[in-house]
């Protein structure tokens, strides 16, 4: 591993980490590792004890929208490795005041204040199980899920948007009136039906790109608040 020095606007010399290409390391792996090593959010997550840089995306979105209220009941879909669950638990005061339930098809190390279960949200029994675990309907449904990438941009976009549609349907099943749904989406078409359905069932629907979301990424977040209740897709 080598470093390259540069200058910041403050006049302080900054070090940019460059990774030498090892014999078994692909160029894409090398570039990914360089980006991780030079990402200030990755370093900050380590310092502050968060499991992923994604924790700051939720923090920044909620700093503006204020939907993670003390005492709220929250579902975190695709919760592993737990960064969003950590933020949600802190903001709603779980477990003393609020309640956070995380589910994923992958296991996750325990998060203080969070109830976790290995579960597929697409299982027909999942909505009722979640409401039982929460002790009632949810106030917030979070989804930072992304479908496995194929490398083909159009295919990957369609896959993630299909996943968002399914997450939105799940949210309609478990949310209390007035509730909120936050999900990762990608820029670029095929969202008309999704947006129409959300605008029908929620009082407000908006796109947000938090500062922690990399500028070169097509990633956006879709926030729907003020669930009207009882609406079905």
Q: Please identify every residue annotated as catalytic.
A: 184
Rounded Cα–Cα distance for residues 226 and 133 (Å) = 23
Beta bridge partners of 137: none
Strands (E), 80-157: 99-104, 114-118, 138-143
Asked whether 170 and 77 are in contact (CB, 8 A), the reply is yes
Beta bridge partners of 138: 175
Beta bridge partners of 143: 77, 183
Q: Kindly compute the dihedral angle of the four CA atoms of residues 67, 72, 76, 82, in this order, to the nearest 10 degrees.
A: 90
């Amino acid at each position: 591993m080598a470093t390259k020095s540069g200058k910041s606007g403050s006049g302080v010399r900054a070090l940019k980490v460059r990774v030498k290409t090892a014999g078994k390391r692909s160029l894409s792996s090398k570039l990914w590792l360089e980006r991780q090593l030079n990402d200030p959010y990755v370093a900050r997550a380590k310092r502050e004890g968060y499991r992923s840089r994604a924790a700051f995306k939720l923090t920044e979105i909620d700093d503006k929208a204020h939907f993670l209220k003390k005492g709220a009941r929250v579902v975190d879909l695709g919760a592993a490795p737990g960064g969003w669950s950590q933020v949600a638990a802190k903001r709603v005061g779980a477990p003393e005041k609020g309640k956070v339930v995380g589910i994923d098809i992958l296991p996750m190390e325990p998060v203080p204040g969070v109830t976790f279960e290995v579960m597929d949200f697409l299982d027909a029994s999942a909505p009722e199980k979640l409401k039982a675990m929460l002790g009632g309907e949810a106030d917030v449904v979070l989804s930072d899920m992304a479908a496995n990438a194929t490398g083909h941009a159009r295919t990957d976009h369609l896959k993630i948007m299909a996943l968002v549609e399914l997450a939105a349907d799940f949210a309609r099943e478990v949310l209390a009136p007035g509730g909120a749904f936050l999900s990762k989406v990608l820029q670029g078409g095929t969202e008309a039906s999704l947006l129409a359905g959300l605008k029908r069932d929620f009082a407000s629907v908006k796109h947000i790109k938090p500062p922690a979301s990399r500028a070169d990424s097509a990633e956006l977040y879709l926030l729907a608040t003020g669930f009207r209740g009882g609406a079905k897709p």
